[in-house]
Each structure stands twice: as structure tokens, then as C-alpha cells.
Amino acid sequence: MLDKIPYKVKFIIIYIVSILFLTLAIYYTFEQFGKGNVNRVTIENLQKKHKEKNIFINSFFDQYITTIKALQGDILINKYINNQIDTPEIESLFLTIKKSLPCAIQVRYIDTNGDEKVRIDGTPIKLFKEKAISKIVPQNQLQNKKDETYFKKFISLSKNEIGISHINLNREHGTVEKTKKPVIRFGVTIFDKNNIKKGFIVINVCLRTFFKQLEQATLYHIYLIDEQGRFLKHNNPQYGLMSDSFESYTLLHQFGSQKAQKILNNDTYLDDTLYSGILKDFNNNQKLKLLLTSKFDMLTKTNIDNSNTMIYIIIFLAILLSPLVFYFARLPDFLKSKIENSINIHEITNLPNRISLAKDLENEKFPDSLVILVKIKNMTKIQNLYGYKTAEQLILEIANYLQSYKDTNIKQVYIVSYGTFCLEYTDFKENTIEFCLKKLLDNLESEHFCSSNDLDILVDVAISTSSTSSLQKGIAKLKEAEIALDNGIETKNDLSTYSQQHIQKLQKNKDNIELAKKIKYAIENDTIEVHYQPIYNNYTEKIEKYEALIRLRYKDEFIFPDQFLPIAKELNKYQPLTYMVINKAFKFFQDKDFEFSINISMLDIDNPNFKDYLFERIQYYNVSNRLVLEIVESESVEDYESFYKFIKSVKKIGCKVAIDDFGSGYSNFEHLLNLSDHIDYLKIDGSLVKNITTDSKIQILVGSLKFLCDNLRLQTIAEYVEDSKTLEYINSIGIDYSQGYLIGKPSKDLV
């Protein structure tokens, strides 16, 4: 029956079916690719991360606010104000305060006339690297600050009011310091015994460390903006408070006028790509807002744009070619020849296409050349605004412009995708190529296209090039230029040259995506393993305890927690991992007489469902009298009351509590004192133990810590004991327990 259908009809049917199939295949391919993309982080996660960062900001500055509140009622301050003691005693007090605050760079007393009476200058503390500088400024070098904005604000404070200045750059003698320092100031007024205002105390805090910690997020870009839309903190060092473009590059330039206004005019604002919210409980009259965007938005946008572009091209070509189908149906041989020709030549411009480029690169048609990509960034917008025909005419005119461009080094022009051209560029000089490309960029963006159609179209262009310092061969040059182009568009640089940094950044993002897949696979297929590391009693010389440590097994690969836990927290997969460790470890030790410990964090304690699950498992496996809960991230304790309540409840049923990794990060003696009545063990972090035999400062620190623990009746456990020399020293100062590879490595079975 099919033989009776004319070839012409069959050809038309096949043509229509092919177009539909190709369109659906492209749509399905891009849709499936999108499903696996890590950037499908929900708005709920953005909001949660915003809340966490808000809590972090308040926590970071709490110690400075607490300190300056205490200074207002300090006895020495009151005596000094009432002329009962001399300036040196206050200078000594301020010097002690400066040294105790990690990011403080100035502590001053300023009178009501704006004159500095006492001033301590210095640099922030750098833990275990070098001593911070702290010095008393001589009286003859003190300044008058009555013209400073913060003076006018702080001098008007009421008696119990804490002043917080704008975030800006530190100024001396009325000008910004040459080495720029982002600072915020905390102030409190001082009154004499007759309740007369005498001046105020101010603490200057350097925000470099604050900005660095604020931006720590695996899946998000984090920005801090003021009420004018200026970036106080930007992920790109070319922008932000410490850059020269602080005033010129704002929300308007980053997100466009419409979105910028919505962000500024609303306390909270969210859409498919970002979440912004005003900082709560931190009022310095700048109406600071924290803004989060996904690091993978550009990948998603590119994916969607590519999908839509390809579908538009297919539909466009299908409609365009439909009148010719009848002709081609009558002339199969002509059609075959036409298709073969279109494989290598772009139909509209008659330029060689990507396939031709790939062949020419592999055949080294232009040796020692650069591959330069020229992308019309607003191509899709122009097409949507003026239609397909105008977009077609624009592509043709740009192709003609590039072919006639007066640069003899351009040997061949290609079109590699919709709105993207490629130039083979030879005989270049590395020190002048950037100038040549900048000139090409400026000329293209100043050229008026489609004027013959009574239009005046200006194009927005991005140009990238393969490496100018290390020339590759073959298709590798095109890949370099494409990586540089993607990175340039993402970072809003219209001119970009490939460097090793680009591929490293791409690889890091790719690695995070792959690691997220492995975490999901491990949870779904129960390939999480718990290994047990022995803990040695230095007095009885026996192994008496074990620590349960999580490992992620993916096929034949073992992944350690410091690699996957940060990603797991970003993806809200941390809690299932904790539950799996609890269940596996409790089951393993239910019939063993050894004491064992598991690690939990404040994320667990703050989870309302965690306590119920923990207690149910403890009761089910009957391990309460052998279980030690090691609390990590002790520096993040915000609500001591709820924390104490949890600790008391676990100790009530017979469990013990340890503070893990003491001496790492920002853990300090204050936390130890606050928790001493509720804990049993203190684990000394390996960063201290591994250098204890050679570093006298660490020896003093650990010795002091041991003395304090003895007085607080806490037992001590030294981590990272890797050799007998370290073990001997640990024993000599009376540390109770040792843990490390010398004692035994973590294993699925007990050592």
C-alpha cells in the first residue's frame, strides 16, 4: 500500500515528522540535563541560608557590643572621667581590650569637643601566624574628630544606647588610608558622677575577616548592600567597598533597573534566581540587606537559552524551507547535494560553520593562530523585539562587517552558533592583542546595523580568545575560547582571555555537582559506612574507647567527611547522614562493653526532631551508659539555655558529653568556662597536637589548657597522636587519653 503513495507525499510526511521529532528530542535532552543541575536549590533553601547568615552577622559582632557595654560601666572609666586616675591606667585598659578582640583595630575615648583623649591603634589578631600590633598613640598625635559622621551620631546617644556606625573605609586626618580598611564602629556615651555627658568610647572593627567568613557558601554568591544599592561586599573583588568602582557599580548594573528597585524597596524580595532580605537586629541606619544568588544561575540560563535558541532555529528553518520541500521532493539528488553543502556552510551568511572550523583546526589550516569568539549577547532580545527576519539580516550584516574588517591578521571568519562568530587570527603579538580586540569590540558596539530597514540596531558584544601565552593545537583552542567566553559572560567582562584559572573554576563547580550526586546515591543505596578509631588511656595503657566516624562509599571510592559534609549541609542532606551514623553505631556497640562516641553539631541540636530520634535509638539499643556525644562547632552556640537543656537531658539518662576539636577555628576558653559544668571530656584539636613537640607557644597553650581542665575536673583527649615522640610528650604533661594513627586508624572493625 505504501508503494502507491507518491514519493512527494512520503517525503513531505517524513520532513514534518523529522522536524517534530528533532524538536522534541532537543527539548527532552535539555530538560533531562536541567533535572540533574545542582542549581535547583529551592527558594526555601535560599531563605534558610539567608537566616543562617543573619544569625552569623549578629553573632560576629556580639562580642564587640558586649565589650563596649561593659566599658560604659567600668570602674576605671568612671574614675578617669571623674579625674580620680590618670590617663596611663585607661590606656592600659584600652590596650587589653584591643588585644582581646580579634578584629579590633582601634579603641578610643573622644570628648564632647571631638578631641581624642585616649587612643589605641593596631592590626587584627592572626591566630598562630604572627602577633597582632597594638600600640598606645602619643598625646601629641591625637586628632579631632568632630567633623566625622560617626562623631555626630555617637555624641547624641542616650545613656544606655549603643551606637553602630555606617560601614565605610577607615579615615585618618580626614582622608581614606592608602591601605584601604573596611570598618564599622561601635560607640557608647560616658557620663560623670553628676550625670553630665563627657564623651564616648568607640571601638573600630576591621571587616576583612567578617567579609571573608560571610562569603563562605558552596552553592551561593553572597552580597551585602546598603540602602543606596551599593555593594559593601561583592564576590568579585573588582566591585564592593574596597574597590574603585564602589560608587559607580551598583545593584542597577548587576541586576538591572527593575529588579534593583524591587530589592531596594522591599524588606524581602525573592524570585527564581535570588533572595534578598534586610538584616534584623542590626541597625546602623544603612538599612543593610543581605542578598543571595545561586552560583549556578548562569549554567541554568545558558542551558535554557541554548534549548530555546536551537528550537527557534529548527522551527525557523522548518518554516523557511517548507516552500522548497516540493521542489526538493522532485529532485532527490539536488537535495542530497544541498544537504551535504549545508553541513559545512551557514545558510544565511555563507560562512563556514562550526563543522568547517573543527576540520580546519584539526588540519592546522592556520598554524600558530588564535581562536577568537565574537558573541552578540543581545541577539535573542533583538530577535524577539524585531522578528526573525530582522535577526537574520543582522547576522548577515555582522558577518559582512567582520569579513571586511580592516585587520589583515583575520584570516577566516566562521559562524559557530546563533549569534556567535569565530575568527582565525594569525601573526599576533601577545602584548598588543588585547588592544586589537578592544578596538574590535568598540567598533562593533558603535556600529549601526539594519539601517536599510529603517532600524538602528546597536549590538552588545562579548569577545574571548584562546590562550595567548601557550598556543594549543586542534580543537583545544576552540574549547579554550568557549570556556573564556562563558566565564566572561558570567563575570560581566566583555573581553576575556583564557587562563588556567578558568578551567580550575569550571572543574571545581563540576566536582561539587558530582559530589552532590554521590551523596544522594549513598543515602538512597545505604552505602554510608561507620568506622571506629580507638582512644588510648595514657594511664592504664589500654584502649578503652572508640570514636564513630562517617565514611561515604561510592563504588570503589571512599570519601571523607571534610569533603562531603559542607555540600550535604547545603543540600539539606546532613540530617539523614546523622541518623544513619546513629543507627549503625548504636547497633554495632549494643553488645560490646566499650565506651564509644558519635559527633553531633548545633545543626542537630537545633533540629526539633533530632532529640526524639536520638533518645528513641538510645533506649532501643540500651547504650546510654556507654555513649559519649561529641559536640562540634561549639563556637556557634547561640542559645546557651536551650543548649544546656539538651546537655542536661542526655546526661540525665547516663550519657557523657565531650567538646570536640578544641583549639580549631574560633573555639576559645570562654566557651569552655560556660560549658564546664555540663561536659566530661575536652578533645584537643590535632592542629595543636601535631606540632606540640616543636612549637613552644603551642606547648604553653596546651599546658595552660590542661591546668584549666584539671581545675574544672575535665578529662582531656589529645587528637592526631601520630608518633611515639608526641605520645611521650602528651603523657609527660598529664593528658588523660590519646587518639591518632599511632594508636590505630579508623576501621570497620575494632582494633
User: pLDDT tens digit string along 562-593?
Assistant: 888 888 887 788 899 999 999 999 999 999 99
Beta bridge partners of 420: 375, 417
Give CA–CA dist 63/78, Å, rounded: 22
Count the neighbouring beta carbons within 10 Å of the beta carbon of residue 735: 23
Residue 454 predicted with pLDDT over 90: no
Model confidence pLDDT, tens digit, residues 384-399: 988 888 999 999 999 9
Name beta bridge partners: 749: none
Instruction: Give long-range contacts, CB 8 A cutoff, 24+ apart: 434-442.
Output: 434/495, 434/497, 436/407, 436/409, 437/372, 437/463, 437/465, 437/495, 438/495, 440/374, 440/405, 440/407, 441/494, 441/495
* The predicted structure's pLDDT at residue 327: 62
- What is the residue extent of each domain of the chain? 1-39+296-344, 43-55+215-295, 73-210, 348-498, 511-738
Mean pLDDT of the chain: 85
pLDDT in the model for residue 666: 47
Q: Above 90 in pLDDT, residue 744?
A: yes
Find the mean pLDDT for residues 283-300. Answer: 75
pLDDT of 668 over the 70 cut: no
What per-residue confidence (pLDDT) applies to 38?
46
More confident residue, 227 or 341: 227
pLDDT at 6 over 80: no
CA distances from 271 to 49, 215, 224, 399 (A): 15, 21, 18, 38
Calpha distance 653→542 (Å, rounded): 27
Cα separations (Å) of 21 from 88, 311, 314, 335?
86, 11, 11, 20
pLDDT attached to residue 36: 47
Q: What is the DSSP string of 302-348?
A: HHHHHHHHHHHHHHHHHHHHHHHHHHHHH-HHHHHHHHHHHHHB-TT
Residue 330: predicted pLDDT: 59
Q: What whole-number distance in Å separates Cα of residue 578 and Cα of residue 471?
A: 50
Per-residue pLDDT at 7 exceeds 60: no
For residue 542, what are the β-bridge partners?
537
What is the rounded average pLDDT of the residues 702-719?
91
CB 554 within 8 A of CB 527: yes
Closest CA to 421 of 438, 449, 451, 441: 441
Q: Which residue has the higher pLDDT, 47 or 672?
A: 47
In degrees rounded to 5, what are phi and psi of residue 408?
-65, -15
Provide the pLDDT for residue 573: 85
- pLDDT of residue 364 exceeding 70, the answer is yes
| Calpha distance 149→427 (Å, rounded) | 57
73-210: in CATH 3.40.50.620 = no
- Mean local confidence (pLDDT), 42-68: 85
pLDDT confidence bin for 321, thresholds 50/70/90: low
> In the predicted model, is pLDDT for residue 2 greater than 70?
no
CATH superfamily, with its number, for domain 511-738: EAL domain (3.20.20.450)
Correct CATH for 348-498 of 3.40.190.10, 3.30.70.270, 1.25.40.20, 2.60.40.10: 3.30.70.270
Pick from 34-43, 85-94, 191-200, 345-354: least confident: 34-43
| Rounded mean pLDDT, 296-311 | 62
CATH classification number, 43-55+215-295, choose in 3.40.50.880, 3.30.450.20, 1.20.1250.20, 1.10.3370.10: 3.30.450.20
pTM for this structure? Answer: 0.41
495 vs 438: CA distance, rounded Å: 7
Check whether 4 has a pLDDT greater than 70. Answer: no
Q: Which letter does DSSP use for residue 734 in this model?
A: T
Q: How crowded is residue 413: how many other Cβ atoms within 10 Å of its Cβ?
A: 22
Cell numbers representing residue 486 in the block: 562563558
The CA-atom distances, in angstroms, between 269 and each of 223, 233, 262, 265, 292 are 14, 19, 7, 9, 11
**For 81-118, how does the pLDDT look when each residue is reduced to its tens digit (9 = 90+)?**
998 888 999 999 999 998 889 999 999 999 999 999 99
The whole-number average pLDDT for the span 460-486 is 87
- Please give the residue that has the higher pLDDT: either 305 or 635: 305
Q: Give the pLDDT of residue 737.
A: 96
Q: pLDDT-derived band of residue 128, with 50, 70 and 90 as boundaries?
A: very low
In this predicted structure, the answer to whether residue 718 has a pLDDT above a threshold of 90 is yes
The neighbouring-strand residues paired with 718 are 684, 738
Mean pLDDT across 299-318: 66
For residue 353, pLDDT over 80 is answered with: yes
Buried/exposed code over 456-484 (b: 16+ C-beta within 10 A; e: otherwise): ebebebbbbbbbbeeeeeeeebbebbbbb
Q: How far is residue 276's CA from residue 65's CA, in Å, rounded to a whole number?
A: 26
State mean pLDDT over 647-675: 80
Residue 10 has pLDDT above 80, yes or no: no
Q: Say how far apart CA 564 and CA 554 lie, in whole Å.
A: 12
Statement: residue 323 has pLDDT above 70: no
Helices (H), 36-145: 43-72, 75-81, 87-100
Task: Tell me whether domains 43-55+215-295 and 73-210 share a fold.
Answer: yes
pLDDT of 640 higher than 60 = yes
Task: Tell me which residue has cell 556507654.
Answer: 626
For residues 334 and 662, the model is more confident at 662
CB within 8 Å of 241: residues ≥ 6 apart? 167, 168, 169, 182, 230, 231, 232, 233
In sequence order, what are the beta bridge partners of 132? none
User: Residues 498-503: what's their mean pLDDT?
Assistant: 75
Instruction: Report the Cα–Cα distance between both ends of the chain, in Å, rounded.
Output: 79
Residues in the chain, overall count: 751
pLDDT confidence of residue 598: 95
